[in-house]
Amino acid sequence: MAAQGSVVQKEMLTAGAHYMDPPIVNIQLAQDLLDVCRSMSLWPMTFGLACCAIEMMATGMARFDMARFGAEVFRPSPRQADVMIVAGTVTKKMAPAVVRLYEQMPGPKWVISMGNCAISGGPFKIKDNYNVIEGVDTLIPVDVYVPGCPPRPEGLLEGFFQLQRLITGKRWWPVAAEVKG
């Protein structure tokens, strides 16, 4: 469970702070195998907060086709999901709902913070800001940050690759060739 351990501990709103009990029978090979299975069938939650959600939808649709990487099953319930993509601006009013959704997800679970707003408050991180949470990682532990305003679907896919690398310790997909000229 490399990903779970990699999270920097902060003062979180969530009870238990992302903690999972170790398995009763711990066989490393079986755990590794399970991790590969988990990373190849990530089920994100259908959950968008702002314009980043549009890019998230595009990532799931035919052109960018997240299904190729095993993550197309957007679940309408947190109880069936294991990845939360925080796609958009988290307002103060929305924050309790985000935390509740996170807590309702069964472990092991991961969080992708998508876009500048979710990472740091983005354009709302100003002096007179009164209702935007400056970084969703002040509420829940975040595993992968995907910057952009909003990030391209390729960016989100790359975030998923990164998450798979965190879970299994290996990048599974070829790196895109650099385009010249």
Partner 1 sequence: MLQLLEGIPTQCVAKQDKVSTGRAWSVFLAPAQIVKTARKLYEAEYSLEDVFALDIEEGFLVLYHFNRWNVDERVVLRVLISKDNPTIPSIASIFDGAEWHERETRDFHGVNFEGNPNLVPLLMCVEDVDFHPLLKTDKKRKQIKDLLNLGEVVSCNKEIEALFAEAEAEVASDA
What gap in Å lies between CA 133 and CA 56, rounded to an integer?
A: 21
- Contact between 130 and partner 1 (CB under 8 A)? yes
Is residue 83 within 8 A of residue 109, CB to CB? The reply is: yes
Least distance to partner 1, CB of residue 96, Å:
8
When the beta carbons of 2 and 126 are compared against partner 1, the nearer one is 126
Least distance to partner 1, CB of residue 92, Å:
5
The span of 1-9, 90-98, 100-108, 114-122 binding partner 1 (CB under 8 A) equals 90-98
Least distance to partner 1, CB of residue 134, Å:
15
Least distance to partner 1, CB of residue 126, Å:
12
Q: Which of 63, 93, 127, 180 binds partner 1 (CB under 8 A)?
A: 93
When the beta carbons of 92 and 171 are compared against partner 1, the nearer one is 92
3-state SS of the chain is CHHHHHCCCCCCCCCCCCCCCCCCCCCHHHHHHHHHHHHCCCCEECCECCCHHHHHHHHHCCCCCHHHHCCCCCECCHHHCCEEEEECCCECCCHHHHHHHHHHCCCCCEEEEEHHHHHHCHHHCCCCCCCECCCHHHCCCCCEEECCCCCCHHHHHHHHHHHHHHHHCCCCCCCCCCCCC
Q: Which of 92, 100, 170, 171 binds partner 1 (CB under 8 A)?
A: 92
Count of positions on this chain that bind partner 1 (CB under 8 A): 7
Is residue 64 within 8 A of residue 158, CB to CB? The reply is: no
When the beta carbons of 91 and 138 are compared against partner 1, the nearer one is 91
- Contact between 128 and partner 1 (CB under 8 A)? yes
When the beta carbons of 66 and 95 are compared against partner 1, the nearer one is 95
- Contact positions vs partner 1 (CB under 8 A): 91-93, 95, 128, 130-131
